[in-house]
Amino acid sequence: MRIGIVCYPTYGGSGVLATELGKALADKGHMVHFITYQQPVRLNAFHANIYYHEVQVPTYPLFDFPPYESALSSTMVDVILNQQLDLLHVHYAIPHASTAYLAKQIVSKTGRVVPFITTLHGTDITLVGKDKTYAPVVTFSINESDAITAVSNNLREETYKSFQIEKDIEVIYNFVDTERFKRREAELKHFRDAIAPNGEKVLLHVSNFRKVKRVPDVIKVFAQVREQVPAKLLLVGDGPDRPAIECMCREMGLCGDVRFVGKQEQLEDVMSISDLFLLPSDYESFGLAALEAMAAEVPVISSNAGGLPEVNIHGETGFLSPVGDVDSMAKHAIELLKDEKKLAKVRKGALEQAQRFHINNVIPQYEALYEEVINRT
């Protein structure tokens, strides 16, 4: 198949998932065309079956807001027609579903019908999409999609609750390449020794430091853990809350034990040297970073928000606590870190769970959907 993939190319779960999906489809012989405004973060190597089309957004003094959607739709039309695409797969409803709808209409004038599939990822539904400034367009373009997928049952239900959706939403879970995230503790011992020179436990948080991630809770949990277990905290990623978090660490006297390592592409290395992953979010449709941690045998201490209970199984792969219940999260973390036998059991459970979301189980679900949609339209 010739597939166009549209996503946010930034350091976020939806872009990561879309890029990994495109790479896996290319490995299986499909021609994959990424259409984005910059090279996606994980699209970092040459592949004979992968093409990248940058969306150029010309500026003009009249525009206070450069019309990105128009540029994106026009690029979609160009790629569909010149590369003979069979379908478009857009990730994150806003504005990708409505731009795909427009591109489809324009292309139909040439006599071709090119369907588009919309994958919902989370905040496009639960936060931004609900805003009344966007809601009519989001509802319309989801309903006009030739197929809709959501990355968890929770997100599917949230979408039905928040919008008047007349079509079926298929759940296709996020996936992980367990080979890539396979724990390589011995190989990376030098890295671990640099971070935790005295054998401290390593706690990890990865996010874009937005409010929804509740990074202050990560710091509060770590502070409690550190009182009972020698530990270090690695913070991966960057975003609006980072300056406040740095300040909080200084005020709490934690600076010596907290390391901000910024945006990291080699997440598998960081996960390989970690003992616990913390994800106390207000909401997660899925929690892809938690799944990647599990693939590296890192148990997850998370909130029970959104789709997290579908990924992190309480007592088996980690522990769930109510949003904001820092004491409960710290208690679970301390119990686990103090009990090597229990830690080993939960690590094993985490890996087993990650294998259920193996990339090889999920890619065929997308391929089947593509074929069904192409044959139907």
Nearest to 365 by CA among 170, 146, 158, 120: 170
Question: In whole angstroms, how close is the CB of 76 to ligand GMT at the nearest point?
Answer: 20
Q: Is 150 one of the binding residues for ligand GMT (CB under 6 A)?
A: no
The region of 181-189, 277-285, 321-329, 361-369 touching ligand GMT under the rule CB under 6 A is: 277-285
The region of 207-215, 247-255, 315-323, 332-340 touching ligand GMT under the rule CB under 6 A is: 207-215
Q: Which is nearer to ligand GMT, 159 or 343 (CB)?
A: 159
Q: Classify residue 199 as left (phi > 0), alpha (psi -120 to 50) or beta.
A: left
Q: Is 174 one of the binding residues for ligand GMT (CB under 6 A)?
A: yes
Q: Report 306-345 residues binding ligand GMT (CB under 6 A).
A: none
Q: Which is nearer to ligand GMT, 75 or 302 (CB)?
A: 302
Q: Is 4 one of the binding residues for ligand GMT (CB under 6 A)?
A: no
Listed in sequence order, the residues at least 6 apart from 58 whose beta carbon sits closer than 8 Å to its beta carbon are: 66, 71
Q: Is 92 one of the binding residues for ligand GMT (CB under 6 A)?
A: yes
Q: Is 354 one of the binding residues for ligand GMT (CB under 6 A)?
A: no
Q: Is 283 one of the binding residues for ligand GMT (CB under 6 A)?
A: yes
Near ligand GMT by CB under 6 A: residue from 129, 287, 299, 349: 287
In the chain the first and final C-alpha atoms are separated, in Å, by 15
Instruction: Scan for tokens 């919309």, then name that residue.
Output: 118
If DSSP codes are grouped into helix, strand and coil, which group holds residue 232? Answer: strand
Near ligand GMT by CB under 6 A: residue from 9, 13, 129, 299: 13
**Residue 273 one-letter amino acid:** I
The region of 13-21, 28-36, 79-87, 332-340 touching ligand GMT under the rule CB under 6 A is: 13-21
Whole-angstrom Cα distance, residue 108 to residue 38? 27
Alpha helices in the chain, H assignment, sequence order: 13-27, 68-82, 93-108, 123-126, 135-144, 153-162, 189-195, 215-228, 242-251, 267-272, 288-295, 308-311, 326-338, 340-356, 359-376
Whole-angstrom Cα distance, residue 214 to residue 223? 15
- Determine the residue with CB nearest ligand GMT: 122
Cis peptide before 216 (omega within 30 of 0): no
Question: In whole angstroms, how close is the CB of 170 to ligand GMT at the nearest point?
Answer: 14
Binding mask 121-140 for ligand GMT (x = CB under 6 A): xxx-----------------
Torsions phi, psi for 112 (to 5 deg)? -105, 140
Question: In whole angstroms, how close is the CB of 201 to ligand GMT at the nearest point?
Answer: 25
Token pair of 332, please? 């679970």
Q: Is 285 one of the binding residues for ligand GMT (CB under 6 A)?
A: yes
Near ligand GMT by CB under 6 A: residue from 3, 5, 6, 17: 17
Binding site for ligand GMT (CB under 6 A): 12-15, 17, 92, 121-123, 151, 174, 208, 210, 212, 283-288
